[in-house]
A and B are shown apart, each in its own frame.
Chain A
Amino acid sequence: MQTRLEKVLSQKFLLFSLVSTGVAIMIAEYIGKETAIVFTNWIFVPIPGAMLVLAIISAKKHGITGDHGKAWIAFAVFAASWFIAEQVWLVEELFYHEKPFPSGADFFYIIGYPAYFIFAILYLKPFKSLITKKLIIFASLVAVAVLIPSMYWTLESSSDEDQFSIILGAAYPVCDSIVLIPAVIGMRLFFGGQVNFLWALMLVGILVEVIADTGFQYFSLDDSMYTGHPVDILFLWSYIFFAFGIHDNIKVFNSKMNAYKNKEDLR
């Protein structure tokens, strides 16, 4: 079981990861736009990769048994989908020298959302008797409140971007807001429990993702968005929050089955 000291240290490591990622991107940005593009594209390999590895470990640990087992499989699909999306983005930009938005990467980003939503629904399923209409309405209001500024900026801006790119860019904050609903419910349900840290980080991760997607859309519309833009720090932070949440959950449920091999122990 995780001790209090380990919990504090894990949060220090989380803070260190957030700060070092931000500083690294800012240094690359300071050196020059080209450096920022190359560095940021490559940093999207290990960070989403770490989230994918942790998601696979968690899915393997849970197996297919129970709602949470199925939930973690769905999360692994989400993590794999977004990891592939990041790599498609990298290949499009660094190897084919194509504009990565819109591109095949968007297909993988978009299919990741239903997988994440399924994860959240399955994780919360054993606790459905406590999910009241009032709680769903509250979570939906939070999601709408987060979505409104994003939609406002998107609809108010005029741009040379084609209609498809504008709609696609606007779809991300909408998807983020939808997945925000179960995250708010999860945070409220597990308040005070050990699994709350996972849901707190999921919630923060999605909120950061909403801000990042809104920023991406905002700067894309005035054509000032590029890989390595400070907005990318938020995308990376979102992965870091998710990864630390999964890591904490793995540590919470760390008991080994072999401790109970002796049948007499179970009596």
Chain B
Amino acid sequence: MIYQVVPNYVSERENIMIEARKALVIMAIEKTLLEVGRPTYHEVLSKLKKDHNCYISDCYENPEYLSNVLKELYGPSRLAIISSIQKYLAELSTQEDIANFIIKISE
């Protein structure tokens, strides 16, 4: 019984950590967009919904959606916004999922 609980506990803990990192990614995106301006934030939300039928929280799994929306708005200069998001996540960049997120959003 104890033998079975330990792996379940680890898995649950890992899930919590993934959710926490996901929340941090969302916060990094939101903070960066709000630093640019409130209408930018709302326009990105709107375009994500309209073009990809998704929300900011979905950008954790699909960073390319955010990248596309930023490209539509700011052209190649989206890279500066992406770079700001990366800076907020720098301390977590050793985590595999965050590293994947950073690679995908920069493409």
**A residues apposed to B, CB below 8 Å:** 1, 61-63, 65-69, 126-130, 189-196, 252-257, 259-260, 265-267
Contacts and interface: CB of A to CB of B under 8 A. Distances in A.
Interface stretch (B8-16, B35-43, B59-67, B94-102): B35-43
Nearest to A193: B75
Interface residues of B, number: 30
10 contacts: A1-B50, A62-B38, A65-B34, A126-B36, A128-B80, A193-B76, A195-B73, A253-B37, A253-B40, A267-B57
Tell which of B38, B73, B77, B83 has the most Cβ of chain A within 10 Å. Answer: B77
A68 B80 contact: no
Contact of A252 (B35, B43, B45, B50): B43
Given A1-B50, A259-B46, A63 B38 contact: yes
Contact of A126 (B39, B50, B75, B80): B80
Grouping DSSP codes into helix (H, G, I), strand (E, B) and loop, the B interface class, with mixed when no group exceeds half, is helix
A126 B75 CA distance: 14
Contacts of A260: 42, 45
B80 A127 contact: yes
B80 A130 contact: yes
Grouping DSSP codes into helix (H, G, I), strand (E, B) and loop, the A interface class, with mixed when no group exceeds half, is helix
B75 A191 contact: yes
A127 B81 CA distance: 7
A69 B37 CA distance: 6
A129 B84 CA distance: 9
Interface of B: 34-40, 42-43, 45-47, 49-50, 55-57, 71-81, 83-84
Contacts of B39: 61-62, 68, 253, 255
A1 B78 CA distance: 19
A-B complex: 3 closest residue pairs judged by Cβ atoms: A193-B75, A68-B37, A255-B46
A60 to B, nearest CB: 11
Contacts of B76: 130, 189, 191-193
Nearest to A58: B39
Given A66-B36, A66-B40, A255-B43, A126 B57 contact: no
Contact of A253 (B42, B49, B77): B42
A130 B75 contact: no
Contacts of A193: 71-78
Contacts of A255: 39, 42-43, 45-47
B27 to A, nearest CB: 13
A129 B83 contact: yes
A254 B47 CA distance: 11
B42 A257 contact: yes
Contacts of B35: 66-67, 126
B74 A195 contact: yes
